[in-house]
Amino acid sequence: MSLIELKDVYFSYNDDTKAIDGISFNIEQGSYTTIIGHNGSGKSTLAKLIAGLLPIKSGEILIDGLSVNEENISKIREKLGIVFQNPDNQFIGSTVKDDIAFGLENRLVKSEEMEKIILEYIDKVGLNKFMDYEPQNLSGGQKQRVAIAGILAMRPEIIIFDEATSMLDPKGKKEIKQLMADLAKDDTITIISITHDIEEVLQSDNCVVLNNGKLFMHAKPEEVFSHPEKLRDIDLDIPFIEKVKEEFKHRKIKLKSSDLKGLVKELCQYHSNH
Amino acid sequence: MSISFKSLSHIYNKDMPYAHKALDNINLDIKEGSITAIIGETGSGKSTLVEHLNALLLPDEGSLEILDYNIVANQKQKFLKPLRKDVGLVFQFSEYQLFEETVIKDVIFGPLNFGFSQQEAINKSIEALKLVEIDEKYFNVSPLELSGGQKRRVAIAGILACDPKIIVLDEPTAGLDPAGSKQIIDLFVSLNKTLNKTIIIVSHDNEMVYNYCDDTVVLSHGKVVYHGSTLDLFSDQKLIEEFHLLLPQIVQFKNELTENGFKISKEARTIEDIVGEVIKQVKK
C-alpha cells in the first residue's frame, strides 16, 4: 500500500473551471516528490486537498489508508505538516524556542520532555545559536528553518513544502534545499514539495507535472527532463544542464552526463576522438 | 547624463539608540540608458538605495542628482511629484498593492494622480497594459482574478502609464514561474532597447543579472564595493570570492570548460554562444 493515494480527484473553486481535473497517482512512504507546473496549473490546490485544507468535489485521497475528509481530519493533521511560502506569515512565538514549543503545547507534551524535543530539532535545522532570537530578526532562510523545526518537532509522517523557497534569497534557497535533501534521507519522512525551482526537481525521487489541473507526467526527474519540448509546450523550464545538452544535440553531439563536470569530461573525450 | 549619488548616507532611526547607517557615504554614477543591476546580500542596503531614486527616502547626508532634480540632505524638497512621475519604482511583490475594483482602474490611478487628463490617462493606461501584454479581455476584471504573473505585470503597467524616464524594479521576478519571469525580463529589455528607458534592477537572481544587465553595482554593509561591467565582475575570481557571489550556472560552465583547456571568450553569455565556441574547438 502506498502512503498517499489519489484516486480520480476533482476540485473546482467555482462551477465553470476545474482546478483539479481527475488526478490519480500514488506517493510512497519515505519518498521525496516535487510537484511542478506553471502558475494556475493546480499545484497549490492539490497540496491543499492532500492536507485537507480544501474539500474534494469527487474522488478520494487516502493517507495511510485513511480517507481525507471531515471525519478523519484531526488524525490526518497529526500525520502532516506544511511549510508555507512566506516566512513572515507563520510565526506565533516571541522567540525561536517558543515558536517551536507552540505546537508541542497544543499536543499537551510535558514541559521537561518538550525542552528535549525542542533542542533536538533546533539542532537538526542548525539554529542552536539563535534559540533565543526573535523570529523577525532572522533571515528568510533562518525563518523557514524555524518553521521546519516546528513541524519536525510534531514528528509528522509527511511534510508538504508549498513553494517554501520562492521568497528567499539565493543563500536562503540553498540552505533550505540542502535541508530538504537531508530530511529526504530519513525513510520515515515523506516529502512533497511544490516548487518553481526546476533545479530542485533534480534532487527529488519523483516529479509530478501538472498542466491545467490534469496530471501531465509522473516520473523520475531524468525521465521528465528527457522530453524538454513537452515541458516547454506547457510553459515549464528545464534545468541548466539539460539546456546545455539540448544545444549540443542540435549540433549533433549527444552527451549523457547529469552534471557539468561529467559533461565537460565527455567533451574532452569527444575532442580527442575526433 | 547620469544618476549621481554624492557622498550620500542614510541613517534609520537617526539620533536614537537603535540608529543604523543603512547607506554609508555612497558615491555612484549610474549611466542613463543602461540596464544596471544592484546586487548584494540581504540587508546590504539595496532597497534603501533605490528608494532614494524617487525620494521615498531622503538622504541624511550628501546628495543625489537625478534627471534635472537635485536632492540634498536636510533641504526642503519642492519637486517630489514631478520626480515621482519621472522615476517609477516597482516594489517587491508589487502585486500586493493592487487595490482597485478593475485592472484598468488600478492602472489609471497613477496617471490621474500625476495630473494627466481623463482621456490622456485612459490612453496611457491602455498603452501600458498592451506593453505588459495584458489582454483587453482582462481590463474590466478584478485584479484579484489574475494569476501572480499577470498581477505583477498590471502593477508594472501602473508605473509605465505615468511615462517615467527611469524605471526601478525591486526583485521583479521573485516568486514567479519561469514563464512569468521571462515575460517580465523581455519587458524591461524592450523598454530599454526600444524606448530607451533607464532600467535599474535590484535582484538576487545572478543568472538574470549576468544575462541581461550591462552594469552591476555590488553593495555590502551599506557601501558600494563594485560598480562596473557585469561580465568583468563575474569573470574575476578574486571579486567573486571577496563578495561571496553565487556563480550563475553559465559562468560555472564557462569556468569548467576553461579549466579543461577550452578557450571561451569573456563575451559569451548564453548557452548558444558557449556551445558555438566549443563546437569550433572539438570539430577542428
CB pairs A-B closer than 8 Å: 85
Q: What percent of chain A has pLDDT over 70?
A: 99
What's the rounded Cα separation, in Å, for the pair A103 and A82? 13
Residues of B in contact with A248 (CB under 8 A): 275, 279
Rounded mean pLDDT of chain B? 92
CA nearest to B229, candidates B97, B1, B35:
B35
Full 3-state SS string of B148-161: HHHHHHHHHHHHHC
A255-272 CB burial, b ≥16 within 10 A, e <16 = beeeebeebbebbeebbe
**Cross-chain residue pair B250–A240, CB shorter than 8 Å:** yes
The residue in chain B having the minimum alpha-carbon distance to the alpha carbon of residue A167 is: B175
Residue A85 pLDDT: 86
Average pLDDT rounded to a whole number, residues A252-273 = 88
Average pLDDT rounded to a whole number, residues A93-113 = 88
What's the rounded Cα separation, in Å, for the pair B209 and B39? 9
Closest by Cβ to B177, choosing from A196, A261, A268:
A196
Q: Which residues are paired to A61 by β-bridges?
A: A6
Contact between B15 and B21 (Cβ < 8 Å):
no
Distance from CA of B282 to the nearest CA of A (A): 5
Residue B181 pLDDT: 87
Q: Which of A271, A273, A274 to mutate: most B Cβ within 10 Å?
A: A271
Contact between B189 and A48 (Cβ < 8 Å):
no
Rounded mean pLDDT of chain A? 91
**Cross-chain residue pair B283–A274, CB shorter than 8 Å:** yes
Residue A133 pLDDT: 86
Q: Which of A247, A261, A270 to mutate: most B Cβ within 10 Å?
A: A247
**Cross-chain residue pair B281–A171, CB shorter than 8 Å:** no
Distance from CA of A112 to the nearest CA of B (A): 37
Written as tens digits, the pLDDT of chain B (284 aa) is: 689 999 999 999 888 887 889 999 999 999 999 999 999 988 899 999 999 999 999 999 999 999 999 999 999 888 889 999 999 999 888 888 888 999 999 999 999 999 999 999 999 999 999 999 999 999 999 998 888 888 999 999 999 999 999 999 999 988 787 788 888 999 999 999 999 999 999 998 899 999 999 999 999 999 999 999 999 999 999 999 999 888 999 999 999 999 999 999 999 989 999 999 999 998 76
What's the rounded Cα separation, in Å, for the pair B149 and A157? 34
A8-36 CB burial, b ≥16 within 10 A, e <16 = ebbbeeeeeebbbbebeebbeebbbbbbb
Give CA angle at B233 (B228, B237), nearest 5°: 150
Distance from CA of A195 to the nearest CA of B (A): 9
Contact between A261 and B257 (Cβ < 8 Å):
no
DSSP 8-state class, residue A27: E
Amino acid at site B115: G
What's the rounded Cα separation, in Å, for the pair A85 and A165? 7
Residue A192 pLDDT: 97
Distance from CA of A114 to the nearest CA of B (A): 33
Residue B284 pLDDT: 64
Contact between A219 and A207 (Cβ < 8 Å):
yes
Residue A167 pLDDT: 81
What's the rounded Cα separation, in Å, for the pair B253 and B270? 11
- Distances B177 to A36, A92, A223, A226 between C-alpha atoms, Å: 10, 30, 21, 20
Quick count: other Cβ atoms within 10 Å of Cβ B259?
10
Burial class, B10, CB count within 10 angstroms (exposed 0-12 / middle 13-18 / buried 19+): buried
What's the rounded Cα separation, in Å, for the pair B263 and A59? 58
| Residue-level length of chain A | 274
Distance from CA of A273 to the nearest CA of B (A): 9
Predicted confidence band of residue A72 (pLDDT cuts 50, 70, 90):
very high
**Cross-chain residue pair B179–A171, CB shorter than 8 Å:** no
Closest by Cβ to A170, choosing from B246, B253, B283:
B246
Q: Which of B47, B141, B177, B186 to mutate: most A Cβ within 10 Å?
A: B177
Q: Residue B196's Cα: distance from chain center in Å?
A: 15
**Cross-chain residue pair B260–A268, CB shorter than 8 Å:** yes
- Distances B239 to A145, B78, B201, B207 between C-alpha atoms, Å: 30, 41, 21, 17
pLDDT tens per residue, range A204-234: 999 999 999 999 999 999 999 988 889 989 9
Radius of gyration of chain A (CA): 21
Residue B146 CA neighbour count, 13 Å, CB half: 26
Contact between A145 and A126 (Cβ < 8 Å):
yes
Give domain limits for chain B.
2-229
Q: Which of B278, B279, B283, B284 to mutate: most A Cβ within 10 Å?
A: B278
Amino acid at site B90: V
Contact between A62 and A4 (Cβ < 8 Å):
yes
DSSP 8-state class, residue B247: P
Residue A168 pLDDT: 83
Whether CATH 3.40.50.300 fits B2-229: yes
Full 3-state SS string of B86-128: HEEEECCCHHHHCCCCCHHHHHHHHHHHCCCCHHHHHHHHHHH
Give domain limits for chain A.
4-238
User: Is a pLDDT exceeding 80 seen at residue A90?
Assistant: no
Q: Which of A36, A134, A169, A254 to mutate: most B Cβ within 10 Å?
A: A169
ipTM surpassing 0.90? no
Percent helix, percent strand, percent coil in chain A, to nearest 5: 45, 20, 35
Burial class, A146, CB count within 10 angstroms (exposed 0-12 / middle 13-18 / buried 19+): buried
What's the rounded Cα separation, in Å, for the pair A63 and A79? 9
Residue A87 pLDDT: 80
Residues of A in contact with B42 (CB under 8 A): 139-140, 169, 171-172
Q: Is the pTM of this model over 0.90?
A: no
What's the rounded Cα separation, in Å, for the pair B134 and A72? 44
Residues of B in contact with A257 (CB under 8 A): none
Percent helix, percent strand, percent coil in chain B, to nearest 5: 40, 25, 35
What's the rounded Cα separation, in Å, for the pair A58 and A148? 32
What's the rounded Cα separation, in Å, for the pair A43 and A213? 8
CATH number of A4-238: 3.40.50.300
**Cross-chain residue pair B256–A261, CB shorter than 8 Å:** yes
Distance from CA of B177 to the nearest CA of A (A): 6
Closest by Cβ to A39, choosing from B148, B204, B261:
B148
